[in-house]
């Protein structure tokens, strides 16, 4: 049974967490890129507004064939208490029907639960089954500390048991 980690990351924190996760559980990994520029202070406000309104964006890859995978991890940064637009778009485009899904989000401090809840709702109506979820706080943490936290989560939550 093959597992895959799908993630979006603007400032590489979710990327670092996703890579560590994929290493720990021996999963494939696919980065979802947002083709809309999201860098700079003004863009931060737009990004938050897009997230709140769940405005779709152009993503790469436009389509991912999930048929080879039974267990799919989906990771997003929390943006204004919501998943990033690239992840909302990916959930709409990719086919989660019949898939087991584990969700995770990285965040500065708040809005994590709400973000996970929204992803759950969207994946469940598309026929995916949520197994579990977790949050990784990133504020003030160095990249090696984020990796360490992911490793601890994998152990605490026995994530290696799934999809073997
Ligand atoms: C547009 C935007 C909105 C954000 N909103 C929140 C928020 O509501 N709550 C929070 O705890 N962190 C928030 N953050 C911080 C990110 O969730 C956090 O730094 C995350 O780990 C970044 O992941 P990345 O490096 O993969 O992009 C926000 C960041 C951005 C860019």
| Number of domains present in the structure of the chain | 1
Neighbours of 153 (CB within 10 A): 18
Q: Which structure tokens are listed for 37?
A: 């520029």
CATH code for position 85:
3.40.50.360
Q: How sure is the predictor about 42, in pLDDT bands with cuts at 50, 70 and 90?
A: confident
- Per-residue pLDDT reduced to its tens digit, 49-69: 999 999 999 999 999 999 999
Domain that includes residue 50, residue range: 2-161
Q: Identify the DSSP state of 98.
A: T
Ligand 1, residues at Cβ distance < 6 Å: 9-15, 44, 47-48, 77-81, 106-111, 138
pTM: 0.98
Which pLDDT score, from 0 to 100, does residue 147 have?
98
Ligand 1 atom showing the smallest separation from residue 11 Cα: 25
Calculate how far, in angstroms, residue 114's C-alpha sits from the geometric centre of ligand 1: 13
Instruction: For helices 85-93 and 112-125, give the axis angle rounded to 10 degrees.
Output: 20
Cα–Cα–Cα angle for 94, 96, 99, nearest 5°? 145
């Amino acid at each position: 049974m093959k597992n895959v980690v799908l993630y979006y990351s603007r400032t590489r924190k979710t990327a670092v967490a996703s890579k560590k996760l994929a290493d720990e559980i021996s999963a494939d990994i696919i980065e979802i890129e947002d083709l809309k520029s999201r860098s700079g202070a003004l863009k931060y406000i737009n990004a938050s507004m897009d997230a709140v309104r769940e405005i779709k964006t152009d993503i790469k890859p436009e389509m991912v064939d999930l048929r080879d995978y039974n267990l799919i991890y989906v990771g997003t940064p929390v943006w204004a208490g919501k998943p990033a637009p690239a992840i909302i778009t990916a959930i709409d485009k990719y086919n989660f029907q019949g898939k087991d899904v584990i969700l995770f989000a990285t965040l500065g401090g708040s809005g994590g639960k709400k973000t996970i809840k929204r992803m759950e709702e969207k994946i469940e109506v598309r026929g995916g089954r949520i197994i579990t979820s977790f949050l990784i706080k990133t504020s003030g943490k160095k990249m090696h500390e984020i990796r360490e936290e992911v490793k601890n989560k994998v152990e605490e939550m026995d994530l290696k048991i799934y999809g073997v």
